[in-house]
Chains A and B, each alone.
Chain A
Amino acid sequence: MSTEVESYKIQKMVELLAPKLTRQVVGSLVGCVHCGMCHETCHYVMTHPDDPKMTPSYKADQLRKLFKRHYDWTGRVFPGWVGAKPPTRDVDLDELKDIAFGTCTNCRRCTFNCPMGVDTATLNRIMRGLLTQVGVMPEGVRVVSKDTWELGNQMGVLKEDYVETLEWLSEELVMELDDERATIPIDKVGANIVYTINPREVKYDPRTISEAALIFYAAAEDWTMPSWGWDQTNFGLFSGDDAMGAASYRHLQEKNAELGSQRLVISECGHGYRSTRCEGPNWSKTDQDFVMESSVMTMLRYIKEGRIVVDKTKNSDPVTFHDSCNNARSCGFYEEPRELLKLVCTDFQEMYPNRTENYCCTGGGGAMSMSEYTPRRLVSAKVKADQIAETGAKVVVTSCHNCVDGLGDLIRHYKLDCQVKQLVHLVANALVLEECAISKIPKEKPVPEPVPEPVQEPVVIPVEIPADRVKIADALSGRRILIVEDEEDTRIFLATLLQDAGAVTLEAVDGDEAIATARAEKPDLITLDLSMPGKDGVEAFIEIRNDPDIRDIPVCIVTGHPEFRKVIYDRPVRPPEGYMDKPVIEEDLVANLRRILETSRAEGS
């Protein structure tokens, strides 16, 4: 029977759904009775009472329609009768994107309130994943995904910047404590603990790293931070991209194995904890083979073991605790932070509802990176704002960086008289250093400073250019190459590299400009980025291939999205002549382009 599918992307989504269909997922897809019990459990519903589309079952129905139409025979035979009419056009995907990314933070509150045990949040994540895999996602998600694939962390922090920040923090801490033992060790092999963080800490809140370092120092812990595989957050959880989830998790897993550590500690981050501790092994299809714990558990253990001593009177403001949805509902982690909080502050007020019934901070599910949905998000934040205001607390404590941002935003928006802190702040502030484990270990005698050697004039050593580099120098001599790339830094890098190889470069920043330039200039080759604002590389590629004037120009895809390879190669047009993943190796790129040009010339002649 015809399935009436028109859109290529939707066909791909149907195919991509198959491997995600576990028994449990199918149970959630067929189990919904549309009773509406989930309706009033969602913060989007509560704050948008006139918009029925906010109801969780409606959001899950978007995936359900696709499933029923293509995988459940009742939907194949009677699609209209059982609600199995999914969208069939590309334009409908924008609405799906809006629903999946813009009206749900995957907080899982509806899941806990479904009498049937339907996991609506998981269904929404699957829909996100399908959309992401066919290139339909909010721009923020696209950028973060790109950074994750290319740089191994979701905020695009360069390795040098990361290491420099740690070194700077380390120097400051050593100076402040006047103790060399307060160093932040990087890549120390055999340390007991490998401490992983959220890139937000390096970029916006390095104080949390210093405070964690102070606590490790106080506990006389043998710890280290990895120079790679340090981002415990995992955008795959938000984008629904299991491949990215697996890759990000493996970075940590492999680095931890390389350092031979016994325990991987995850700084306070809800989605980081869930994606590393809980989902990472599932995505990567490897059983968990090392201990992973939240830094909350580490700090609590230090206090219980007497390795650190705290004075709770140092934190005397009334505090309340916000449960991160990922910690509480998806990882069962809600008592330890309370236990710790009661040990380090004097006035703790419970927030209601709490634990697995708590409301989302509204910054979850990647919402903070999707600015187009900010107004809606802030409206939905009213529920949380009321919850906080009712406690009368001056400090909202949370164990999640995402929640810090989400709560900070709503506190500003609703003008609440309080601030957001994490447990690491309170523990560090309450430390009584002179009674901690480190104070019981005598300092080693200071090693005398080495006498600096006299400064000599720099010796210039002639650099010999390797033979293959000499070959590269004119490998593309005289060839006209159109570089299509939206990111200025990358575009300049590629242009410089290709010009150095003798090419004449043209540049375009999006799909429309690429097509126009290709038509006007007829370059010898096009390097094409895939994820760009406006007309993206996938659409541009199809258009180039369908235009008789430019269809013969060879195209080399240069992308940070290896997952798009199948999408590109499955198109009903001639595949690209080359496909390279970012970050590109200079020699490889030049050699690859030269090969493409030579092959195309040979075929042309």
Chain B
Amino acid sequence: MEAHGVHYAIEVIHWVALGVMALVYVLRLLWLFKFKNFRDRQAPGENGDTTNWPALYSLGNVVMPWAMESTRKRPFFYVTFVIFHLGVVAGIFLAFISSLNRPFLEEPVVASIFMIILAAAFLVSVGRILRRLLRPVMRLISTPDDYFCLSLLTVWFGSGVLAEAHISGHLHSEWYLTIYLALTSFFLLYVPFSKISHYLYYPFTRFWIGQTLGHRGSMPASRG
């Protein structure tokens, strides 16, 4: 089959995969919300805040590395976290924009930005695999799903660099993009069943912990 034909089929599949992912996400959220809600029955703490501010603060801690000791004391780890997640965002954009507005990705500046981010994310991802393999504590807590997700993302980032290189005219074979879209489709289908779906839960877990501890007065966290 011609690469163009396969490419077209994959494009269709990856939109279908997106739909499946959305559906499973909805089911996951319905599942989560079928559990009863916890309500802190105590009167607010002396320093408690009953508004949504502590919950929103908690939610925003992803962009506040100073808010937690674990990120404050490990700035390099935090930077790699940011690069890794920017890579994910860039990768998803690349996949969909390549179908919707390919000329945008052909712009040299845009292409360079995408390639740099994806290449950096690829390197971080390789580092994360090594960390998970080499540190006893990481080996102990890792599941096959953890390794597989990380490996999948690493390959996906690498393939994204090549796909963008193709789009921007540095590589000629259409297969680079086709393989990338195929990987994206698999990624979209696998994500809701894997630990990568953590970002679906993130807003809720952070909001709830902020709400509970804020009501009691210990969120935002304080240090002297």
Q: Which residue of A lies closest to B77 (CB)?
A: A37
- Residues of A near B33 (CB, < 8 A) are 23
A246 vs B217: C-alpha distance when bound (angstroms): 23
Does A333 contact B141, Cβ atoms closer than 8 Å? no
A277 vs B139: C-alpha distance when bound (angstroms): 40
Partner-binding segment picked from B7-15, B155-163, B178-186, B195-203: B195-203
Does A328 contact B35, Cβ atoms closer than 8 Å? no
A36 vs B132: C-alpha distance when bound (angstroms): 9
Please judge, given known A-B contacts A117-B209, A354-B223, whether A34 and B146 are in contact too, CB under 8 Å: yes
Partner-binding segment picked from B36-44, B87-95, B99-107, B165-173: B36-44
Does B141 contact A61, Cβ atoms closer than 8 Å? yes
A287 vs B206: C-alpha distance when bound (angstroms): 25
Partner-binding segment picked from A80-88, A485-493, A571-579: A80-88
Is A463 an interface residue, CB under 8 A from the partner?
no
Q: Give the interface centre of B47, B58, B138, B209 by most chain A CB atoms within 10 Å.
A: B209
CB under 8 Å from chain B, chain A span 257-316: 277-282, 285-288, 291-293, 297
Q: List 12 A-B contacts (CB under 8 A).
A: A27-B32, A32-B198, A34-B142, A55-B140, A83-B145, A112-B68, A112-B69, A115-B61, A116-B202, A118-B205, A334-B222, A356-B218
Question: Which of A31, A113, A119 is the one whose CB lies under 8 Å from B68?
Answer: A113
Measured between C-beta atoms, what is the minimum distance from A176 to chain B in Å? 33
- Residues of B near A399 (CB, < 8 A) are none
Q: Which residue of A lies closest to B213 (CB)?
A: A332
Measured between C-beta atoms, what is the minimum distance from A264 to chain B in Å? 12
Question: Which of B36, B40, B143, B204 is the one whose CB lies under 8 Å from A82?
Answer: B143
Does B143 contact A34, Cβ atoms closer than 8 Å? yes
Measured between C-beta atoms, what is the minimum distance from A261 to chain B in Å? 16
- Residues of B near A332 (CB, < 8 A) are 45-48, 213, 216-219
Is A421 an interface residue, CB under 8 A from the partner?
no
CB under 8 Å from chain A, chain B span 57-83: 58, 61-62, 68-71, 73, 77, 81
- Residues of B near A61 (CB, < 8 A) are 141
Does A80 contact B68, Cβ atoms closer than 8 Å? no
Is B53 an interface residue, CB under 8 A from the partner?
no
A147 vs B23: C-alpha distance when bound (angstroms): 53
Interface string of A14-41 (1 = CB under 8 A from B): 0000000111111110111110111111
Does A41 contact B69, Cβ atoms closer than 8 Å? yes
Q: Which residue of A lies closest to B135 (CB)?
A: A36
Does B38 contact A23, Cβ atoms closer than 8 Å? yes
Does B35 contact A23, Cβ atoms closer than 8 Å? yes
A113 vs B68: C-alpha distance when bound (angstroms): 6
Q: Which residue of B lies closest to A77 (CB)?
A: B193
Does B71 contact A115, Cβ atoms closer than 8 Å? yes
A40 vs B195: C-alpha distance when bound (angstroms): 22
- Residues of A near B32 (CB, < 8 A) are 23, 26-27, 30
Is B175 an interface residue, CB under 8 A from the partner?
no
Does A27 contact B70, Cβ atoms closer than 8 Å? no
- Residues of B near A119 (CB, < 8 A) are 209
A350 vs B224: C-alpha distance when bound (angstroms): 8
Is B98 an interface residue, CB under 8 A from the partner?
no
Q: Which residue of B lies closest to A80 (CB)?
A: B144
A119 vs B42: C-alpha distance when bound (angstroms): 19
A117 vs B214: C-alpha distance when bound (angstroms): 13
A99 vs B174: C-alpha distance when bound (angstroms): 54
Is A353 an interface residue, CB under 8 A from the partner?
yes
- Residues of B near A227 (CB, < 8 A) are none
Does B205 contact A331, Cβ atoms closer than 8 Å? no
Does B206 contact A333, Cβ atoms closer than 8 Å? no
Measured between C-beta atoms, what is the minimum distance from A565 to chain B in Å? 25
Is A111 an interface residue, CB under 8 A from the partner?
yes
Is A161 an interface residue, CB under 8 A from the partner?
no
A70 vs B142: C-alpha distance when bound (angstroms): 20
Is B5 an interface residue, CB under 8 A from the partner?
no
Q: Give the interface centre of A58, A111, A112 by most chain B CB atoms within 10 Å.
A: A112
Q: Which residue of B lies closest to A338 (CB)?
A: B224
A57 vs B151: C-alpha distance when bound (angstroms): 21
Is B1 an interface residue, CB under 8 A from the partner?
no
Measured between C-beta atoms, what is the minimum distance from B94 to chain A in Å? 23
Does B69 contact A57, Cβ atoms closer than 8 Å? no
Measured between C-beta atoms, what is the minimum distance from B150 to chain A in Å? 10
- Residues of A near B73 (CB, < 8 A) are 40
Q: Which residue of A lies closest to B131 (CB)?
A: A36
A7 vs B224: C-alpha distance when bound (angstroms): 49
A293 vs B45: C-alpha distance when bound (angstroms): 9
Question: Which of A26, A31, A74, A330 is the one whose CB lies under 8 Å from B216?
Answer: A330
Measured between C-beta atoms, what is the minimum distance from B154 to chain A in Å? 16
CB under 8 Å from chain B, chain A span 324-352: 328-336, 350, 352
- Residues of A near B207 (CB, < 8 A) are 117
Is B116 an interface residue, CB under 8 A from the partner?
no
A357 vs B68: C-alpha distance when bound (angstroms): 9
Does A113 contact B47, Cβ atoms closer than 8 Å? no
Is A355 an interface residue, CB under 8 A from the partner?
yes
Please judge, given known A-B contacts A26-B35, A80-B144, A332-B48, whether A37 and B201 are in contact too, CB under 8 Å: no
Does A81 contact B145, Cβ atoms closer than 8 Å? yes
Question: Which of B45, B135, B223 is the one whose CB lies under 8 Å from A357?
Answer: B223
Does A333 contact B137, Cβ atoms closer than 8 Å? no
- Residues of A near B146 (CB, < 8 A) are 33-34, 83
Does B138 contact A36, Cβ atoms closer than 8 Å? yes
- Residues of B near A328 (CB, < 8 A) are 218
- New A-B pairs, 10, CB < 8 Å, besides A115-B68, A353-B69: A22-B37, A33-B198, A53-B140, A82-B144, A82-B195, A116-B201, A116-B205, A117-B208, A279-B42, A335-B222
Measured between C-beta atoms, what is the minimum distance from A555 to chain B in Å? 38
Q: Give the interface centre of B33, B40, B77 by most chain A CB atoms within 10 Å.
A: B40
Does B143 contact A288, Cβ atoms closer than 8 Å? no
- Residues of B near A286 (CB, < 8 A) are 41
A41 vs B221: C-alpha distance when bound (angstroms): 15
Q: Give the interface centre of B81, B219, B224 by most chain A CB atoms within 10 Å.
A: B224
A21 vs B58: C-alpha distance when bound (angstroms): 22
A550 vs B108: C-alpha distance when bound (angstroms): 88
Does B201 contact A288, Cβ atoms closer than 8 Å? no
Is A52 an interface residue, CB under 8 A from the partner?
yes
- Residues of B near A111 (CB, < 8 A) are 209
Measured between C-beta atoms, what is the minimum distance from A46 to chain B in Å? 12
Does B141 contact A24, Cβ atoms closer than 8 Å? no
A496 vs B206: C-alpha distance when bound (angstroms): 59
Does B42 contact A330, Cβ atoms closer than 8 Å? no
Measured between C-beta atoms, what is the minimum distance from B8 to chain A in Å? 33
Which 6 A-B residue pairs are closest in the complex by CB-CB distance? A332-B217, A83-B143, A332-B218, A52-B137, A281-B41, A113-B70
Does A27 contact B141, Cβ atoms closer than 8 Å? no
Is B125 an interface residue, CB under 8 A from the partner?
no
A599 vs B3: C-alpha distance when bound (angstroms): 86
Does A36 contact B217, Cβ atoms closer than 8 Å? no
Question: Which of A26, A291, A293, A356 is the one whose CB lies under 8 Å from B223?
Answer: A356
Q: Which residue of B lies closest to A68 (CB)?
A: B143
Interface string of A341-379 (1 = CB under 8 A from B): 000000000101111110000000000000000000000
Measured between C-beta atoms, what is the minimum distance from B201 to chain A in Å? 5
Q: Give the interface centre of B139, B148, B213 by most chain A CB atoms within 10 Å.
A: B213
Does B137 contact A36, Cβ atoms closer than 8 Å? yes
Does A22 contact B223, Cβ atoms closer than 8 Å? no
